[in-house]
Amino acid sequence: MMRKIAGFTLSTLLFAVCFSAEAQQAKKLPRLGWLSHASPNAELLSRIEAFRRGLKALDYEDEKNFAIEYRYSEGKPERLQKLASDLARLKVDVIVTHGNQAIQAAQEATKTIPIVMALSTEPVAYGFVSSLARPGGNITGLADFTVELGGKRLELLKETFPKVSRVALLVGPGASPLLKRETEAAATGLHLLLQPLEVRSTGDLETAFKAAIREHADVLVPLPNPVWALQYRARLLELVAINRLPAIYHHSDFVDSGGLMAYGTNYDDLFRRAAVYVDKILKGAKPADLPVEQPTKFEFVINLKTAKQIGLTIPPNVLARADRVIK
């Protein structure tokens, strides 16, 4: 009888030890929060897949040794605060954010959970970090090179269309004053006259295009802004085609959707590199000690199909500089 009791006791003890070990292992399973101002469309899913590839390269296997809680505001900023608070209540290990509005919502939701910016613009100016080199607080990650690229886009337009003199500049809601000033300075250096056109709604787009045509604008530049991708893209591209107005955008997604040209950051690369920040934080690094990085990969994309449709010829020297040409 004693042997049975001893055997039972030993078995029970071994079971308890194994169960405890499994429970501890399950408890240590990293759980990430994903907060985006966009909807899970094909483009964003491509970014997420780049992030997951980055994690896989660091030996993280989805659903085996980490999990992700996804939250999308579907382009509705008013939803972000609740979604960020949900992730904070879940006590995820890291919140990965996409876009300044999502970063701000996460910042307001928690001061302790590490926040990794997969994509941000002017994080210092918006108060997300103290500086790029020394972020401070619980936020770090990657910052787009948006401000500095404004002049490059104007240079490419000037090179493609040497006779251009007047540029219609679409300025969306909540546009960065710094970005606008830098673009104006670049235009002055290139002897281009900017025609700023304020756009607060899709209805304003029609008014803006009428003003651009009335003032004989040669080309169009939408000042980088999330609204072009999230809310106004289809109508923007439609009006560009109707008015046969050459335009250059800040990201290749617009060219893939029928736009003429784009020069900007390779977003998939940014999201892939965000995985490195997550890995370092999960291994004990503090966001305050991880410098904010800026992109190293940029891409120039041209859509020759669109050029043909609006009767334009792209010079061979410009085509030779393109990273990708849609024929």
Per-residue pLDDT tens digits for 206-262: 999 999 999 999 999 999 887 787 778 889 999 999 999 999 999 999 999 999 999
**Percentage helix, strand, coil, to 5, in the chain?**
50, 20, 30
- Read off the pLDDT of each residue in 191-197 and give the average, rounded to a whole number: 95
pLDDT over 90, % of the chain: 72
- Between 13 and 322, residue with greater pLDDT: 322
**How confident is the model at residue 94, as a pLDDT?**
98
Structural domain total, the chain: 2
- The Cα angle at residue 97 between residues 81 and 233, in degrees rounded to 5: 90
Q: In terms of domains, do 184 and 306 share one?
A: yes
Decide if 218 contacts 167 (C-beta within 8 A): yes
Residue 64: which pLDDT band, with cuts at 50, 70 and 90?
confident
Q: Considering the entire predicted model, what is its pTM?
A: 0.83
Residue 180: which pLDDT band, with cuts at 50, 70 and 90?
confident
**How confident is the model at residue 5, as a pLDDT?**
44
Q: In terms of domains, do 80 and 132 share one?
A: yes
- Separation of alpha carbons 246 and 263, rounded Å: 14
| Burial class, 196, CB count within 10 angstroms (exposed 0-12 / middle 13-18 / buried 19+) | middle
With H, G, I as helix, E, B as strand and everything else as coil, classify residue 217. Answer: coil
| Burial class, 272, CB count within 10 angstroms (exposed 0-12 / middle 13-18 / buried 19+) | buried
Decide if 99 contacts 36 (C-beta within 8 A): yes
Per-residue pLDDT tens digits for 106-116: 999 999 999 99
- Between 5 and 129, residue with greater pLDDT: 129
Which residues span the domain enclosing 117?
A: 24-144+267-296
Neighbouring CB atoms inside 10 A of 13's CB total 10
Q: In terms of domains, do 291 and 321 share one?
A: no
- Separation of alpha carbons 146 and 178, rounded Å: 10
Q: Is residue 19 part of a domain?
A: no
- pLDDT(44) > 80: yes
- Separation of alpha carbons 145 and 163, rounded Å: 28
Per-residue pLDDT tens digits for 267-316: 999 999 999 999 999 999 999 999 999 988 899 999 999 999 999 999 99
**Lowest-confidence region among 63-77, 100-114, 259-273:** 63-77
Residue 21: which pLDDT band, with cuts at 50, 70 and 90?
very low
Q: Is residue 17 part of a domain?
A: no
Decide if 126 contacts 217 (C-beta within 8 A): no
Q: Is residue 37 part of a domain?
A: yes
**How confident is the model at residue 9, as a pLDDT?**
53
- Separation of alpha carbons 67 and 63, rounded Å: 5
- pLDDT(194) > 90: yes
Q: In terms of domains, do 279 and 218 share one?
A: no
Q: In terms of domains, do 69 and 114 share one?
A: yes
| CA nearest neighbour of 30 among 283, 290, 287, 276 | 283
**How confident is the model at residue 296, as a pLDDT?**
83
Q: In terms of domains, do 34 and 68 share one?
A: yes
- CATH of residue 115: 3.40.50.2300
Per-residue pLDDT tens digits for 130-162: 999 999 999 999 998 777 788 999 999 999 999
Q: Is residue 9 part of a domain?
A: no
Q: In terms of domains, do 316 and 303 share one?
A: yes
Average pLDDT over all residues of the chain: 89
- pLDDT(174) > 80: no
Residue 191: which pLDDT band, with cuts at 50, 70 and 90?
very high
